[in-house]
A = this chain, B = another copy of it.
Amino acid sequence: MSDEYILVTGGAGYIGSHTVIELINHGYKVVIADNLSNSSYDAVARIEFIVKQHVPFYKVDIRNEKELNQVFSNHKISGVIHFAALKAVGESTKIPLEYYDNNVSGTIALLNVCKSNNVKTIVFSSSATVYGDVTRFGDNSMIPIPEHCPMDPTNPYGRTKFVIESILKDIYDSDELWKVAILRYFNPIGAHPSGLLGEDPLGIPNNLLPYLAQVAIGRREKLSIFGNDYNSHDGTPIRDYIHVVDLAKGHIAALAYLKNLQSKGLYREWNLGTGKGSTVFDVYHAFCRAVGKELPYEVVARRAGDVLDLTAKPDRANKELNWKAELTVDDACKDLWKWTTENPYGFHIDNYSWENFDGYNNRLHSFVNGPLKVNLANHGALIQKVLLDGVNMVKAYDNAADFKDKSNPFFGTTVGRFANRVAKGQFELNGKKYQLTQNEGNNNLHAGFNGFDKQDFLGPVVKHKDGKFLVDFLIVDKDGNDGFPGEVEAIVHYTIDESSVGIEYECRLLSGEATIVNMTNHSYFDVSDSANIDGTEVKLVTDQMMEVDAELIPTGKFVANEYVTDPIVLDEKKPFDNCFIVDDDNCGIDTRARPLKKVFEATHPKTNNKFTVETTEPAFQFYTGDGVNTKGFAKRCGFCVEPSRFIDAINHEKWANQVILKKGEVYGSKIKYGFTKK
């Protein structure tokens, strides 16, 4: 893979984010610069989730040449796709200076940095707005609109695009080594088919479909249709609606065209439209079909400045770029409806907020659901905090750096790809022997030196549904990491309601024939609201546990734990670090279909806080934290309950089926940690 990057300015925006995905799908490496003034980093997090890779992101205003130049220093940039701009026509008439500053001065600054870094390939995000009212020619000679149509934008937004085109043209005229693609968009609609990305308009949407979508989910009362007395088949004006994914692909086509020019330069404009006009009613009906019901509308007076027909003539792009819009208005409506229902308020979710924990790669996410406040971080997809009515029930650091310190006893983290121990770090799979990192004496513990707990997860994708937060983190663990065979993708799916944090693990093989997987969570819980768990009353579902040797490796037998009473009152003289058996059956690689079983309960007479653990897993490690000795936390500051497969299962023939993940299969398990008052 080339070490060259495409810089996408405004890559967190609506069209930008879709284009980044297409770029990556087409093998490009991408770096995003966005000032997030009118977009959300959540879009970038979701891009990473979709493309399953890290995409370098810089919160940079392109007007800041110094910071922008740093991006060029950090990455070898071979070309730029330039979206960053303010883009609302109406707003531009109210705050034109901001538009000229962001769009024009911003582009000039970007071009200064491009020039000083000898980057002369640029795809510019222009707009059909530059044509202005093409009905001014009277004779329909300019409908559908060809690229040679004279420009006469009628608002400041359009003028900023016009000015930038002029600047790029003058630069090309002064130095014909520049490769400049001007892409004039018609009406972008739709959303990413994944439902993860789409338009996120702030305030009242200006455009037909975003408005209609808000009517559909009840955010707006009814659609206003501005005039039904135009000379079209149904009386409403005709526009050229293009699916945002088609539009994104147009950028890839233009970029490829520029790259194919080799040493020759170019300045060229291309319309990106379908060439097919749709009336307002056409679009209305398509969206109603997607939603499955008729949506309220009202025909009102014509809107000043509206004209009958603004359809693109996309022949030049079709022919020269070998690109053609393929998706229909119906496709766009379907994708928009998916995006809207799954993200009714775009990226905004009430009672969810985040901050950089140590940068964008590791953010700290905070969720408030009734009495429960839960913090999760990208690093290890970990649980940093669970507050019940303000009382903390998990022990962990406040500081991102501390989590990376050697003395961190796996606070809150996701453990994987293989939890607990593998004897001597060795196992055999499909007749092949594997040697894992021996990071604890002779054995492999919690996957080694670079387990899931040491990595920043991608995402999360955060949604709110039926009163619950749904939070998905994703990790791609490379083939050979710590000796494990096969690349895997693992998803940690948190569900946060008013009284519990649910976790669902999923893991799939991306390369190779098989690997071994065993995932769990390593939080240190505490119901005592104090620095020490002693006095906590605990109930276990079982007293049966694995017999282990001196290195904590199972012998293959189960034994009873003598300390298990009903309830156990925790006491430092009776420490636990044992794997208790929920059932000894052949649970298979995916336990999720099994019913959740309550395996653990803890309360403390002082607080009346109650903690429970339910799981689909056949075992759980119960650890009273006697080995903890770290910044701010001493031994027995919390206890761990880690539902999982049997320890070292791969090296015991009868248990091995629990942990062997084969190509095409899915590893799955569920845990539900409950936090309530007694």
- Report which A residues bind B (CB closer than 8 A): 92-97, 99-101, 104-105, 108-109, 111-112, 115, 156, 159, 163, 166-167, 170-171, 173-174
Query: Once the chains bind, are B167 and A97 in contact (CB under 8 Å)?
Result: yes
How far, in angstroms, from A173 to B170 measured CA to CA in the complex?
28
CB <8 Å contact, B96 and A173? yes
* Contact flag A167-B95 (CB < 8 Å), given A105-B108, A108-B105, A109-B105: no
22 inter-chain pairs at a CB distance below 8 angstroms, sorted by A residue, are A92-B170, A96-B167, A96-B170, A96-B171, A96-B174, A97-B111, A97-B112, A97-B170, A97-B171, A99-B170, A100-B104, A100-B170, A101-B112, A104-B104, A104-B105, A104-B108, A104-B163, A156-B170, A159-B166, A159-B170, A163-B163, A163-B166
Q: Contact between B174 and A95 (Cβ–Cβ < 8 Å)?
A: yes
Residues of chain B lying within 8 A (CB to CB) of residue A159: 166, 170
Determine how close the nearest CB of chain B comes to the CB of A174; give it in whole angstroms.
Answer: 5
Q: Provide the residues of chain B in CB contact with A95, threshold 8 Å.
A: 174
| Chain B residues within an 8 Å CB radius of A100 | 104, 108, 167, 170
Chain B residues contacting A97 (CB-CB under 8 Å) are 108, 111-112, 115, 167, 170-171, 174
Cα A173 to Cα B93 in complex, Å, equals 8
For the residues of A in contact with B, the DSSP-based class is helix
Identical chains bound together, number = 2
Q: In the complex the two chains form, what is the Cα distance from A111 to B174 in whole Å?
A: 28
Q: A97-B174, A159-B170 are in contact. List 9 more A-B contacts (CB 8 A).
A: A96-B167, A96-B173, A99-B170, A100-B167, A101-B112, A104-B105, A104-B163, A105-B109, A163-B163
Closest 4 CB pairs of A and B: A96-B170, A105-B105, A156-B170, A105-B108
A166 surroundings in chain B (CB, below 8 A): 159, 163
* C-alpha gap A595/B211 in the complex (Å): 94
Contacts of A174 in B (CB 8 A): 93-97, 156
Q: Which residue of B lies closest to A115 (CB)?
A: B97
Instruction: Write the chain B residue with the least CB distance to A96.
Output: B170
Give every chain B residue within 8 A of A93 (Cβ-Cβ).
170, 173-174
CB distance from A474 to the nearest CB of B (A): 41
Cα-based distance from A108 to B100 in the complex (angstroms):
7
User: A108–B174 Cα gap in the complex (Å)?
Assistant: 24
Roughly how many angstroms separate A594 CA and B22 CA in the complex, as a whole number?
Answer: 91
A95 to chain B minimum Cβ distance, whole angstroms, is 7
Q: State how many angstroms separate the Cβ of A548 from the closest Cβ of chain B.
A: 66
- Please indicate the chain B residues that have their CB under 8 angstroms from the CB of A109 in the complex: 101, 105
Q: Please, which residues of chain B bring their CB within 8 A of the CB of A94?
A: 174
CA distance A500 to B159 in the complex (A): 63
Task: Kindly state the separation between the CA atoms of A159 and B104 in the bound complex, as whole angstroms.
Answer: 13
> How far does the alpha carbon of A101 sit from the alpha carbon of B110 in the complex, in Å?
11
Q: What residue in chain B is nearest A98 (Cβ atoms)?
A: B112
Chain B residue with the shortest CB-CB distance to A173 = B93
A364–B170 alpha-carbon span in the complex (Å): 43
Which residues of chain B are within 8 angstroms of A112 by Cβ–Cβ distance?
97, 101
Q: How far is the CA of A96 from the CA of B112 in the complex (A)?
A: 11
In the complex, A346 Cα to B159 Cα: how many Å? Answer: 40
Q: Measured between alpha carbons, how far is A100 from B156 in the docked complex, in Å? A: 17
CA distance A622 to B123 in the complex (A): 78
Residues of B close to A170: CB separation below 8 A = 92-93, 96-97, 99-100, 156, 159
Q: How far is the CA of A654 from the CA of B446 in the complex (A)?
A: 111
A426–B441 alpha-carbon span in the complex (Å): 102
Nearest residue, chain B, Cβ from A99: B170
